[in-house]
Structure 1
Amino acid sequence: MDQVNNIFVIGLNDFNRQRLETLHGAGQWRFHGVIAPEAVYDTEEFDIDAMLGEATAQLEAFEGSIDAIVGYMDFPVSTMLPILCERFGTTTTSLESLLKCEHKYWSRRVQREVIPDHIPAFAAFDPFDDEAMTHIGEAGLYFPFFIKPIKSSGSRLGFRIDTPEDFYQAIEQLRAAIGLIADPFNSVLEQAQLPPEIAAVDGHFCMAEEIIGGWQCTVEGYVYNGEVVSYGIVDSLRYPQVLSFFHYRYPSGLPDDIQASMVELTDRIMTHIGYDNAAFNIEYFWDEVQGRIWLLEINTRISQSHCDLFEKVDGVSNQQVTIDLGLGRRPDMPHREGAFPIAAKFFYRVFFSDAQVTRVPSSQEVRALEADFPGTRMDIQVEEGQWLSSLPEQDSYSYALAHIWMGASSAEQLLENYERLASRMAFEFDNIQG
């Protein structure tokens, strides 16, 4: 009988466990949760030191072999993995190489060394410095520009700045909330060997960057024993005139030569960083007018939002990549073996400042919609009585009430099916604030 591998998943929930059980090789794997899912999914407060201590105690108490320690989330999970894997002798990339991706200032400096024509002008600044806007100007950045924390989670605390008034309003929000991520991120930075110029820019700092834009997409990839592999490109399409995402679509509709250029840039930057034996995804823009590809940011994980898309189109979730790499194996990722030629994840949104939810679609209504559109899966994000402002991980402009995954025969069919489904979504609100 083949050996059973024990795989520990930080924040393992029922949804991910069900999908993991469908991966190639899952019959020889046993999945174990490390740290309760609500401690990493349903909160914005992260005590990294306590979480590392809890995870270490759980793993030390396990009597069998520890064959892989993995996770699918951004901060704080991604940053804990190199620390735990080093402690228990399992496979992943080094903490320093991971931080060269996740520390936005360090990442831009490293990118500038090898792909300078593909990154925007940038500057780090302290939001608690009353002269911050002056320093940004001295660095050569002028309105409009974008600001975000050195380490953020999702799209939180990211702002387009067109005027001084925009800047000072954003600074108020940053000063009030940046500590939620900055303090635990600093706990991670303390465990890494940082160059002096990076150590001086801790988690309480922010980034100002030149505005970039165009057709946004994500290259999903991994590095295995020094070989960079890009296995899929997913388009990120926004609602008209706003920054909020409308849907993710796979495969990409970008021209083949642009996709090939993004793959080559990905190989160059991930090799330079020294990232190894771990999954990643890189967000890019293609500015068709300028004829230019911009690198937006590097994430040190697969995208959970894309799991269902890869399953529908390629035949297996890209979680396969993370598990295989965690076990020290080359990923067994198929190509175009799924049930649909194209798939998407849609974000059903409202553009309120706030409101109280008074009705959500019932489970029977959700099941009926899923049955009417084969291959569809829906995940309602709110509950009756909930204020929208209490939802975690939202952007600064809207609230996502439901995530909807759909497959179809064409991009046109996808949109048509979604519009038909969305017209039947029965949400109601009170105390709507415009």
Structure 2
Amino acid sequence: MAKNVFVIGLNAMNAERLRRLRGVEDVVFHPLLTPAQVSDTQEFDMPALLAEAEQTLDAFDGSIDAIVGYIDFPVSTMLPLLCKKYGTRNTSLESLLKCEHKYWSRSMMREVVPEHTPKFTAFDPFDDDALSKIGEADLRFPFFVKPIKSSGSRLGFRIDSPEDFEYATEKLRAEIRLIGEPFDHVLSQADLPDEIRAIEGHFCMAEQVIGGRQCTVEGYVHDGEVVPYGTIDSIRYPQVLSFFYYLYPSTLPPRIQETMWEITRKVMGHIGYDNSGFNIEYYWDEVQNKVWILEINTRIAQSHCDLFEMVDGVSHQQVTIDLGLGRRPDMPSGEGPERVAAEFFYRVFFRDAAVARAPSRAEIEVAAEQIEGARIVSYVKRGMSLSELPEQDAYSYAVASVWMGANKQSKLLWNYEQVMKRLNYEFADILE
């Protein structure tokens, strides 16, 4: 009998990836909700999304063998609710929120690995005395602020002065309820400690600034066993917080990677997360030889799918599908055609702008043909404003992504330059 797997927000690119996985010959993938509803938008009506998903599942004439996703909020938080109702495998809502609710997550980290957890406190951005209360929590300039629930690097700010905090607060007050209110709906479904229930969806975190070489450890938990399986470097543009490219495998020293993997096992075991994929972002401060945890994400990183396929032979969506079906993930290592792989982000550093010109589909295809196996996705169209792009960081806009592999890192960078010479973007009405 065929296995029926429902994928929230399934698009054409990921449908193609899924068909290349191991052991899916007897699996039928079904879309559940559209990308426009769960990823290509900044507004999420959680009760309506859940109701529509349930209506689709209730109307299905067949077995529901797995419900999965590969997207951050709101998909990640919908999965435990839907899987519990339909009896499919996933972690519990409470264990997921111990990762996604940033204050609860930091509290969990502090209990088990305090030496790798920065100082932190929660605050209400609508509280006019928030800055003084942050100071009372022993946080001094500089510090970092972000929502207790966000997506990507959205609404994250480095604070070096009261003026920076005033600017960040203005932005947070204007936009934070877009995710805060739907996140409150998810929190209302969970059994929360009183301390956590007091930290509502529109609250924010203030954290000690940490830094160094950034990376992400991808892993999963299968029947209580925590299994890290890859480390990916996150390389930033010089002097800014925006990412330039993700590189796999990591170039960090093996001993540092093993330290991160051991921390990963401790933290995820302590949280009680189970039968789902995840990733944890880390910093290694080379000067102090200190490893810091940045945050936990309750999904595989979609940006890393092609990197694993190029280097290891299969997208790590293998993990998501196998776990959803109750199988131990069949994730290979080193069986791909490339030794290294990267996703590059072509960014512009404007407050906003109008897209005056974007490459045509034919131009993108010609550019991709310069490097065997390269894939390019442009996120903008002529006439749109950059501010229409969802899930952008506070300092730049990613207008295109380029995935490619090579036999060494320097060749990757050279190839990226050759590809970008073929792509021509122009902007008007630029706000610097």
TM-score, L = length of structure 2: 0.99
SS in 2 for 1:19: helix
1:320 deviation in Å? 0.5
Kept in 1: contact 2:367–2:420 (CA 8 A)? no
Equivalence map 1:7-406=2 (5 Å): 7-406=5-404
1:390 deviation in Å? 1.2
Kept in 1: contact 2:370–2:418 (CA 8 A)? no
1:159 deviation in Å? 0.5
d(CA) in 2 for partners of 1:340, 1:74: 28
Kept in 1: contact 2:154–2:392 (CA 8 A)? yes
The residue aligned with 2:412 is 414
The residue aligned with 1:432 is 430
1:184 deviation in Å? 0.2
SS in 2 for 1:191: coil
SS in 2 for 1:39: helix
d(CA) in 2 for partners of 1:369, 1:144: 42
Q: Deviations over 1:175-224 (max 9, x none)?
A: 11110000000000000000000000011110000000000000000000
SS in 2 for 1:83: helix
d(CA) in 2 for partners of 1:195, 1:387: 42
Coordinate RMSD, CA, aligned: 0.7
SS in 2 for 1:297: strand
Partner AA of 2:398 in structure 1: A
d(CA) in 1 for partners of 2:337, 2:49: 40
d(CA) in 2 for partners of 1:338, 1:131: 54
d(CA) in 1 for partners of 2:360, 2:178: 34
1:42 deviation in Å? 1.1
1:243 deviation in Å? 0.3
User: Unaligned regions of 5+ residues in structure 1, if any?
Assistant: none
1:424 deviation in Å? 2.4
Kept in 1: contact 2:352–2:385 (CA 8 A)? yes
d(CA) in 1 for partners of 2:399, 2:49: 29
Kept in 1: contact 2:68–2:79 (CA 8 A)? yes
Q: For structure 1, which segment, 173-182 or 418-427, has the greater mean C-alpha deviation from structure 2 after superposition?
A: 418-427
User: Unaligned regions of 5+ residues in structure 2, if any?
Assistant: none
d(CA) in 2 for partners of 1:112, 1:334: 33
Partner AA of 2:40 in structure 1: D
Segments ≥4 residues shifted beyond 2 Å: none
1:369 deviation in Å? 1.4
d(CA) in 2 for partners of 1:376, 1:202: 43
Q: Deviations over 1:347-387 (max 9, x none)?
A: 00111121111111111111111111001000001000111
d(CA) in 1 for partners of 2:203, 2:361: 43
SS in 2 for 1:372: coil
d(CA) in 1 for partners of 2:293, 2:165: 24
Partner AA of 1:361 in structure 2: P
1:34 deviation in Å? 0.8
Q: For structure 1, which segment, 162-171 or 420-429, has the greater mean C-alpha deviation from structure 2 after superposition?
A: 420-429
Partner AA of 1:337 in structure 2: E
1:109 deviation in Å? 0.4
Partner AA of 1:110 in structure 2: M
d(CA) in 2 for partners of 1:37, 1:166: 35
Partner AA of 1:77 in structure 2: V
TM-score, L = length of structure 1: 0.99
d(CA) in 2 for partners of 1:186, 1:389: 25
d(CA) in 2 for partners of 1:348, 1:335: 29
Q: Deviations over 1:121-144 (max 9, x none)?
A: 000001111100010000000000
d(CA) in 2 for partners of 1:367, 1:424: 10
1:80 deviation in Å? 0.5
d(CA) in 2 for partners of 1:51, 1:421: 39
Aligned residues: 432
SS in 2 for 1:27: coil
Partner AA of 2:64 in structure 1: I
SS in 1 for 2:369: helix
Partner AA of 2:138 in structure 1: G
d(CA) in 1 for partners of 2:31, 2:390: 22
d(CA) in 1 for partners of 2:210, 2:346: 25
